[in-house]
Structure 1
Amino acid sequence: MTIAQTITAPATTRTLRVGVIGTGMIGRDHTRRLAQVLAGATVTGLYDYSAEAAAAVQADLAPSATVFATGEELIASPEVDAVLVTSPGFTHEAYVLEAIAAGKPCFCEKPLATTAEGARRIVEAETAHGTRLVQVGFMRRYDVGYRMLKEVVDSRIGQPLMVHAAHRNPSVPEQYVTPMAIHDTLIHEIDVFRWLLDDDYVSAQVIFPRATSASHAALKDPQIILLETAKGIRIDVEVFVNCKYGYDIQCQVVGEEGLANLPEPMSITMRKDASLQNPILTDWKDRFVASYDVELQDWIAAALAGTASGPSAWDGYAAAVTSDACVEAQEADGIVKIDLPARPALYA
């Protein structure tokens, strides 16, 4: 299987008119995908709090798009069929709620909202609407390696018992502090393991090994997060954001009849200078670049049908509740319970 084989163009000949809110790094990159890489969509609207930034994206990538004065005007425009939200996280809730009120499919980069209560409000609004409209940007579900792993976990190693995982970055900016290891880093594992195991979390604990000298006073690094699921699966995740050697994502699922490892990114192995070597990535964008293409093509196909696919608003809410519990566990001396309400039928 190759990543290209998982990209399916929409069956319809109709073109989805997309408005992009937020034209920073990820917004600009998604606009490029929509305009130059993927099938079935065109960018007709742009908004950013910096009008200059929006105009620059318009000039380079979406010359026929209208630059709107506000995100709300973009969402309301008859030129826009669907909305892509890539603005700063604290703005996501308001824009997603506005898109739901307008009845327009919405792709929202994570986080869905900066609080669990905000994510819950989105779930309630979408449930009241009665149709799924929101997809959250948890792109790991679209990574070819994780998809291969899920196929094996679902059918070949028996019931999962344990997961051992690691999320390592070579370094992080000085302003990165201890809670960000959960909200900015572990958040991807929180979502992808729920999907991989088809399970929810019931408790969290965080322990701190010896600290690396590469960290600073406001960042405890590394951390080990221990999660328990409703089915009794135990998960340990090492988060080490100053590991120095590269960007490294590891995952091993231990089942009753075997174990399965997330495959390493494809690379050439060399014998050189009396050593056996292969390169290790240093940038998360390189590790998961292809999965962004697949997830947005999936969103386009669903949005053309007036709905949403992939990670849902409920998944965004579950991730927010879990991450809040993990941050609480960073300060607690012991285990923190994770309580999710009953899943609404819309997300069954």
Structure 2
Amino acid sequence: MTVRIGVIGTGAIGRDHARRINQVLAGGEIVALSDVNRASAESLKADIAPAAEVFATGEELIASQGVDAVLVTSWGTTHEQYVLAAIAAGKPVFCEKPLAATAEGAKRIVDAEVAHGKRLVQVGFMRRYDAGYVALKQVVDSRIGAPIIVHAAHRNPTVPEQYGTPMAIHDTFIHEIDVFRWLLDDDYVSARVIFPRAAARAHARLRDPQIVILETAKGTVIETEIFVNCHYGYDIQCEVVGEDGIARLPEPMAIQTRLGATLGNPILTDWKDRFIASYDVELNDFLKAAAEGTASGPTAWDGYVAAITSDACVSAQDTAGEPVAISLPERPALYA
């Protein structure tokens, strides 16, 4: 079965996902497009999906009888309305993060999916599909004993001038929030944020770097450095200290050189290059589930928990290092 896919939001990530589905993966075809900038949708149609119909609104695309499943890759503030519409239509929907602009919005999606009675939503937390994280989880689950401490870092070479302090949580650290829950099979109970001396490239709207400390229900402490103007490259690090040993996230495959009296390994500078393969695996997972009329991978519940946790972390940015409690409602049976 070929799953007929509609894409809402044809910017960089929407275009890249459309390319994957039409040119890389099997089992899906882009048949519908929508964007607030119609010219963007028309451009994607011309370049990648010539058979696709361009719709004036996302809601019209979702309602189309020719669309089996939906990709939501529009602005984050629009995600909730489109995901809710897809659930109401009974269509599987892949939603890039964030699931919704607020935790309350994510809860409305969870409630709608629970009322529907079947999983339809997959959230775009692609790190769960990264080969390095998958290998790390296998070791954490089986070889190093109970996790005690996690040391991690999320470093970007630079960010735009409009990037502010809360965005380090909502736009950057959100991936760690999800992947650590998955990696440790645990939930968070508190968050702290500590600001060391500001880097020279920080500006009035951005305190950079920052250190986020999460404590889990099982007692694991996770400390993550977020440094979004590190200058030298895009660098994701993770080390799990267990009772019996330590496991580290492997570095991306790269050619080591001996050149000019220097032993060197290149460091990536673009997040799309670092996780390019994981996007393929992620969307292939969605296509397989959508062919069965359902969804797989990270759930609406995961998106909701990430929203609650990120809100707590942002609150902790203003508490001078004091912890902020993270309280989760009972998880619905649909997501057990």
Q: TM-score range by the shorter chain?
A: over 0.9
Question: Tell me, which stretches of 5 or more residues in structure 1 are unaligned?
Answer: 1-13
Deviation at 1:165, TM superposition (A): 0.1
**Could you give the per-residue CA deviations for residues 270-317 of structure 1, whole angstroms, max 9, x where no partner exists?**
111111101000010100011000000000000101110000000000
Query: In structure 2, what residue type is equivalent to 1:160?
Result: P
Deviation at 1:222, TM superposition (A): 0.4
Deviation at 1:239, TM superposition (A): 0.2
User: Which of 252, 267, 273 lines up with 2:260 in the alignment?
Assistant: 273
| Distance (whole Å) between structure 1 residues aligned to residue 273 and residue 237 of structure 2 | 16
| Distance (whole Å) between structure 2 residues aligned to residue 270 and residue 328 of structure 1 | 45
**Could you give the per-residue CA deviations for residues 112-150 of structure 1, whole angstroms, max 9, x where no partner exists?**
001000000000000000000000000000000000000
The aligned counterpart of 2:187 is 200
| Distance (whole Å) between structure 1 residues aligned to residue 34 and residue 12 of structure 2 | 14
Query: In structure 1, what residue type is equivalent to 2:243?
Result: E
The aligned counterpart of 1:239 is 226
The aligned counterpart of 1:336 is 324
Query: In structure 2, what residue type is equivalent to 1:346?
Result: L
| Distance (whole Å) between structure 1 residues aligned to residue 171 and residue 58 of structure 2 | 24
Query: In structure 1, what residue type is equivalent to 2:39?
Result: E
> Is 1:346 the counterpart of 2:313 in the alignment?
no
The aligned counterpart of 2:21 is 34
| Distance (whole Å) between structure 1 residues aligned to residue 126 and residue 75 of structure 2 | 18
The aligned counterpart of 1:57 is 44
Query: In structure 1, what residue type is equivalent to 2:124?
Result: G
Superposed counterparts of 1:184-333, under 5 Å: 184-333=171-320
Deviation at 1:265, TM superposition (A): 0.2
| Distance (whole Å) between structure 2 residues aligned to residue 271 and residue 61 of structure 1 | 41
Deviation at 1:18, TM superposition (A): 0.4
Superposed counterparts of 1:120-131, under 5 Å: 120-131=107-118
Query: In structure 1, what residue type is equivalent to 2:329?
Result: P
| Distance (whole Å) between structure 2 residues aligned to residue 216 and residue 278 of structure 1 | 31
> Is 1:91 the counterpart of 2:78 in the alignment?
yes
- The 3-state SS of whatever aligns with 1:341 is coil
TM-score, scaled to structure 1: 0.96
| Distance (whole Å) between structure 1 residues aligned to residue 149 and residue 292 of structure 2 | 38
| Distance (whole Å) between structure 2 residues aligned to residue 61 and residue 79 of structure 1 | 18
- The 3-state SS of whatever aligns with 2:182 is helix
Deviation at 1:162, TM superposition (A): 0.6
Query: In structure 1, what residue type is equivalent to 2:333?
Result: A
> Is 1:77 the counterpart of 2:67 in the alignment?
no
- The 3-state SS of whatever aligns with 2:263 is strand
Question: Tell me, which stretches of 5 or more residues in structure 2 are unaligned?
Answer: none
Superposed counterparts of 1:126-165, under 5 Å: 126-165=113-152
- The 3-state SS of whatever aligns with 1:331 is coil
**Could you give the per-residue CA deviations for residues 226-268 of structure 1, whole angstroms, max 9, x where no partner exists?**
0000000000000001111100000000000000000000011
User: Which of 112, 116, 120 lines up with 2:99 in the alignment?
Assistant: 112
**Structure 1 runs of 4+ off > 4 angstroms?**
none
| Distance (whole Å) between structure 2 residues aligned to residue 167 and residue 254 of structure 1 | 18
**Could you give the per-residue CA deviations for residues 27-84 of structure 1, whole angstroms, max 9, x where no partner exists?**
0000001110001000110000011111111111111111011111100000000000
> Is 1:18 the counterpart of 2:8 in the alignment?
no
Deviation at 1:101, TM superposition (A): 0.2
- The 3-state SS of whatever aligns with 1:194 is helix
- The 3-state SS of whatever aligns with 2:148 is strand
- The 3-state SS of whatever aligns with 1:250 is strand
Query: In structure 1, what residue type is equivalent to 2:17?
Result: H
Percent identity, aligned pairs only, is 73
The aligned counterpart of 2:167 is 180
| Distance (whole Å) between structure 2 residues aligned to residue 277 and residue 311 of structure 1 | 36
TM-score, scaled to structure 2: 0.99
Q: RMSD between aligned alpha carbons?
A: 0.5
| Distance (whole Å) between structure 1 residues aligned to residue 113 and residue 227 of structure 2 | 36
- The 3-state SS of whatever aligns with 2:122 is strand
- The alignment of Structure 1 onto Structure 2 pairs a total of residues equal to 335
